[in-house]
Each structure stands twice: as structure tokens, then as C-alpha cells.
Structure 1
Amino acid sequence: MAKIIPFRGILYNPAKVSGDDVIAPPYDVITSEYRDVLYQKSPCNIVRIDFGKQMSGDTDSSNKYTRARDFFQQWIREGILVRDEKPAFYAYEIDYSLYGENKTLRGILAMVKIEELGKGVYPHEATHSKPKADRLNLMRSCLANISPIYSLYNSPEKITSMILDGIEEAPYISAHDAAGAVHKLYRISEESKIDSIMKDLSDKAVFIADGHHRYEVAMEFKREMGEGPWEYVLMFLANMSDAGITILPTHRMVKGIKREDVLGRLEPDFAIQTCGLECDIVERLSHEGKNTFGLYLGSNEKWYILKYKGTDLEDVPSVLRSLDVVVLHELIIKKDLGIIDVAYEMDIAESIKRVRKGDFDAVFFLNPTGVDDVERVALSGLRMPPKSTYFYPKLLTGMVINKFIVDE
């Protein structure tokens, strides 16, 4: 099982800065335009470290990574960033709204010992190849984990969850994200609570929810450096037995098909119904349940509702066979339609717009993957297709930083 320990976090000093001014979204969802907005918010916004701008005169010795290191060191010297005096776990709470329902996600920020995947720490989905040099260069320059990996564990006893539920003091720092969710951070430094959390998590597997690439970068850095504090990586850990975890679906936009042939090719494997575009496709798919998909072809103003008959996929491992994303990829996209050009979109209206513009021929909509499916597939040693899960809301960067300190 994974080893999880407290650490002396580096935090923004709320006496000198406001969380709303200095905290930022994850680097991989920040556009260049929004990065400019974050730069203007504060000269101490974490984006200057985590996702700094390239400059025209950059060289091997002066670039966005050296500037990130310099900002990091300067803000520590100036007391903008402060290091806790003793190890702690950090409670991270997000109050958010989804489809008119108010929800709360709670978890802890902790250090998790880096292990080979499948040995206490488990991936759950395949990832697209992605340049990792950027994150590795940042880690080399700053000697720190700037942003956490979002991970899950399963503790029906809810020992840690009860500790988090019992927090009553004001947050150490808080910030709002672009959707209006409130992100709050609390320090857990009492030895009795630290001991209880470590005992609760000592026999638990850890499942990477969001941040597979960051974990792989941390593994590579550990291989480079050998023994030392970089043998641990910063993670947010949420209990799968709690109610606040949300997974959203990522819809598939496709091209390279003949629209007039699509329904005929799908009919052997799917019962097909129609409804007008005024139909709430999210509600309809949720009502229809597992292995139901929405299809928009753009040529008329209606949805096609596809209900899988369960007649194929015997060659797919049983643990994957019932997953919506697997039925969509292995049966609809590969076998029935032979599609090779797939793009991903969270927003339903935007995906419809792209089809109407002619960028894509069709879009398939699906229900979200279940949290229990993540655990089941991960423990089997298999992986779901890319973009099978979108954990919402995204964690913000800058709530806590872990700096590698040698011989403390």
C-alpha cells in the first residue's frame, strides 16, 4: 500500500496577499489570454512560477524556469510565501454547485511515496503522449511540487473524513475559481489527528484521478536524483466513500464518416430512438442509464438515443466490457464506424456548434464514469480509454507547495 506522510508545506501569507489574487487554475487549463489576466491580478500570482511566459530573449541560462526559481526564492525571502514550522496534513475543501445542486469535496494534501504504478499507486486510464519536459524542467529548477496530483482512496470507516467534517475554524486561506466555487485550506497539525489519518490510510491503495503525467514526471525526477525528499510527491487525497466527488463525461466529436450510413451501421448493436433538440440530453441519458449514448448528426434538429443491446465485445476484458467509454470506443468508434479522427469536448453546446460549423460530422454524448468503476479497473491492472473521466472541480494551484529540503 502507498506510504502517506505529513509535510512542512509552503503557503501564501494571508497577511500579505489575498487568495483570489495569487491562486490559479492548473496550468493545463490556462489559455494564453487567461494567463495574461492572472499576471495582471498580482505580481505574486502562482502562474508566474507554475506556467510562466516565454520571453523573446530567453536563453539556456535565463528563461521561464530560472524566472520561476527566482520568483519562488524571492517570495520566500520577502515572506510572501512561508514554510510551516512543523509537519502537517492540509485539509482542502471545495464548495461548488453542479446542475443546481450544492456539493462539497473534501480531502487532504499530503506527501505520498512514489512507487511503480500498480504497487500501491494505481492509474485508471490510458493517457495521450504528452511532452513532460516542461514539468520536469520546472521541478529541476524549483526543486518543488508546485501543484498536487488529484488522487482517491477508499475508506468506508471514514476516519479521515470525520476529522475533515469536524473542522470548525476559519480557513487559513481561500480562493474562488472561475465557476464561483470556493476553495478553502485548513492546517491539521495536532499529533493525534495526524496519527489517526496515517493509520486510516496505511492500508489503502491510492488511485490517480487527475495528474497521471505529473506522477510520471515525479517518477522520472526520482530516478534522476536517487534517494532524497523527491521520493515523495504532493497529492490531494479524497475518500471514494464520501459524497462530494464528481466525475463529468467528456463527449466525442468525430469526422470521416458518411452521415447517411451511420444509423444503419449502428442498428445491429443498438436500439435507436429519437427526441427533439429541446430534450435535455444529460437528463435523458441519466434516466436511460448504463450503456446509453446520445448522437447528434447535424443534418437535422434531433437527438438519436442509442441503447446498447449487449451483443458484442466478447474480445474485451470483462472488467472493461460494461463501461460506457469502452462500448463507445471499441464498438461504435472502432468496429461499427471505423472512425480514427476523434476530438474531445466537455461542453454540449460547443460540440453541437462545432458540428454545425462543419468542423466535425457528428458528436457522441455519454454518461459519466462511476467512481467505483475507477477503483475496479485500476485494481485489475487495466486502463480505460483516454479522457474517460473528468474530475470536477479542478484543484487550484498555490494552495500548498512542497519544497524538497535536504537534511532537515
Structure 2
Amino acid sequence: MMTLVDFADPGLVILPAHRLVRSLPQSSLDNLNNGLNTLFTVEELPIGELGAHGQLDVWLSEDDGEVKLLLYGTGRERLSRLTLRDFNAVRPMMPHFHSDLYQKLDVSIVDHVILEDLLGLTHESAGGYVDYTNDAIEAIKRVREHEFQLAVILNPVKPQAIKAIADSGDRMPRKSTYFYPKVPAGIVFYRFK
């Protein structure tokens, strides 16, 4: 099944696929903090009461143009805002066969730097450790309820970036977008009487 949608359509919403991580040994989490402090500027943000999607969006979008991520689950009731210090420091951790556009996406930084390099989760093993949600508040709640250890909250990928990566002949990272609204596939596959 295929659907074509105009990138300029004002009704098109592209949500991020936030990462949820579970079942990691404590040593991996300890190493994560050291690695994050080396590669990112880490700011602690008070989380307060959940329910303010807007505040999460503001924290992610300040100083637009830089890679910014939110991490929750390092043992405190705070979000850590991670701002990449220098892309050249993480470039060796990126797959060399992907374009610069791909390598500079927030989601690529998370998948290849944080999950693969700092936590040691390979693409093949990630299925047992990593889950996804498009709702940032839900991601944080699932960590608070001890279903997961970490939540990485991402910025959505801009439609222009998706188009530029496709135009360059590259692919988007796995689970990098959630297009909304979803096409109702059930109408095609189920007979209604």
C-alpha cells in the first residue's frame, strides 16, 4: 500500500519517534553519563508536573539549528537537555556510507552515538531493549512507572530534511518519523457488510 502526500500540505504532521530503553545493567548507565558529559553540554531542567507538551517543545527548540535532545531516567526527577558540542567529535561514530544530512539528524545522533556507541546496543540487539512512542509525556511516564530506564525525547524531523535525504538517494534512520494522520488501512483490507 502506498500513499502520496504533498510536503506543503498544512495538515501534514510529522511526529518524532522517541526512544525508550530498558533492561540495561547499571554499569551501562554509569558509562552513559560519562560519555554524555564528554560529547554534550548537559543542562538539568526541573520536570515538575507532566502535561506540558509545549514546555518540552520549547526546551528542545531553543537555539534552533543545534542538535538538542532531552533525556529522562538518570535517577533524578529532572530532564537532562543535551546539546551536541561538536559534530566532528561524533562523526567517527556515524556510518560512513550515509550522507551528511543523515548523520546530522537528531535521531541519527541518538541511534548511532547514544544507543550504539555509548550504550553498546547494536541495530540487531536493540529490539529487546528499545521501544518507541510518539508521545513525549507518555515516554516520561513509562520511565517513572519503571517500565523503562531511559527516555530520549527528540525533535521532529522537518519535511524539508526528509525530502533532501530522499533526493540525495539516502534513507531515513529506522523509526525516525511518525506521519499523522495515519491512512485508514483497514478499509482496504476488511470487507464491511
Is the shorter-chain TM-score for this pair beyond 0.5, marking a shared fold? yes
Tell me the equivalent position of 1:367: 155
> Is 2:62 the partner of 1:287?
yes
Query: How many pairs were matched up?
Result: 168
Seen in structure 2, the aligned counterparts of structure 1 residues 367 and 257 have a Cα distance that, compared at 3 Å, is farther
**How many angstroms apart in 2 are the aligned matches of 1:379 and 1:325?**
19
Tell me the equivalent position of 2:113: 331
Tell me the equivalent position of 1:207: none
Q: Is the 8 A contact 2:16 2:155 kept in 1?
A: yes
Query: Any idea what SS the aligned residue of 1:364 has?
Result: strand
Structure 2 residue runs without a partner (length 5+):
189-193
Which of 350, 355, 361 is the aligned partner of 2:143? 355
Q: Which has the higher contact order (CA 8 A, sep 6+)?
A: 2
Shift of 1:287: 2.5
> Is 2:36 the partner of 1:266?
yes
User: Which amino acid is the alignment partner of residue 244 of structure 1?
Assistant: G
Seen in structure 2, the aligned counterparts of structure 1 residues 283 and 277 have a Cα distance that, compared at 3 Å, is same
**How many angstroms apart in 2 are the aligned matches of 1:268 and 1:329?**
17
**How many angstroms apart in 1 are the aligned matches of 2:31 and 2:83?**
18
Query: Any idea what SS the aligned residue of 1:149 has?
Result: coil
Q: Is the 8 A contact 2:18 2:153 kept in 1?
A: yes
**How many angstroms apart in 2 are the aligned matches of 1:285 and 1:392?**
20
Give the alignment of 1:192-211 within 5 angstroms: none
Q: Of the two, which has the highest radius of gyration?
A: 1
Tell me the equivalent position of 1:239: 6
What TM-score results when the alignment is normalised by the length of structure 1? 0.38
Q: Is the 8 A contact 2:156 2:177 kept in 1?
A: yes
Tell me the equivalent position of 1:182: none
Deviations 1:253-279 (A, max 9, x none): 012153333221111211110111137
Query: Any idea what SS the aligned residue of 1:265 has?
Result: helix
Q: Is the 8 A contact 2:31 2:118 kept in 1?
A: no
Q: Is the 8 A contact 2:73 2:143 kept in 1?
A: yes
Q: Is the 8 A contact 2:16 2:178 kept in 1?
A: yes
Shift of 1:282: 2.2
**How many angstroms apart in 2 are the aligned matches of 1:338 and 1:359?**
20
Which of 288, 298, 305 is the aligned partner of 2:81? 305
Q: Is the 8 A contact 1:298 1:355 kept in 2?
A: no
Q: Is the 8 A contact 1:297 1:355 kept in 2?
A: yes
**How many angstroms apart in 2 are the aligned matches of 1:344 and 1:312?**
23
Deviations 1:22-59 (A, max 9, x none): xxxxxxxxxxxxxxxxxxxxxxxxxxxxxxxxxxxxxx
Deviations 1:63-82 (A, max 9, x none): xxxxxxxxxxxxxxxxxxxx
Shift of 1:386: 1.6
Deviations 1:254-310 (A, max 9, x none): 121533332211112111101111372122112243410000016211100000121
**How many angstroms apart in 2 are the aligned matches of 1:246 and 1:355?**
26
**How many angstroms apart in 2 are the aligned matches of 1:337 and 1:398?**
38
Shift of 1:380: 2.2
User: Which amino acid is the alignment partner of residue 116 of structure 2?
Assistant: K
> Is 2:23 the partner of 1:150?
no
**How many angstroms apart in 2 are the aligned matches of 1:241 and 1:277?**
34
What percentage of residue pairs aligned between the two structures are identical? 30
Give the alignment of 1:151-166 within 5 angstroms: 151=4
Structure 1 residue runs without a partner (length 5+):
1-147, 152-237, 402-408
CA RMSD of aligned residues (A): 2.3
Deviations 1:331-376 (A, max 9, x none): 1111122134211112223222222232221110000011111111
Tell me the equivalent position of 2:20: 253
Query: Any idea what SS the aligned residue of 2:32 has?
Result: helix
Query: Any idea what SS the aligned residue of 2:162 has?
Result: helix
User: Which amino acid is the alignment partner of residue 149 of structure 1?
Assistant: M
Seen in structure 2, the aligned counterparts of structure 1 residues 240 and 260 have a Cα distance that, compared at 3 Å, is same
**How many angstroms apart in 1 are the aligned matches of 2:19 and 2:99?**
23
Q: Is the 8 A contact 1:273 1:305 kept in 2?
A: yes
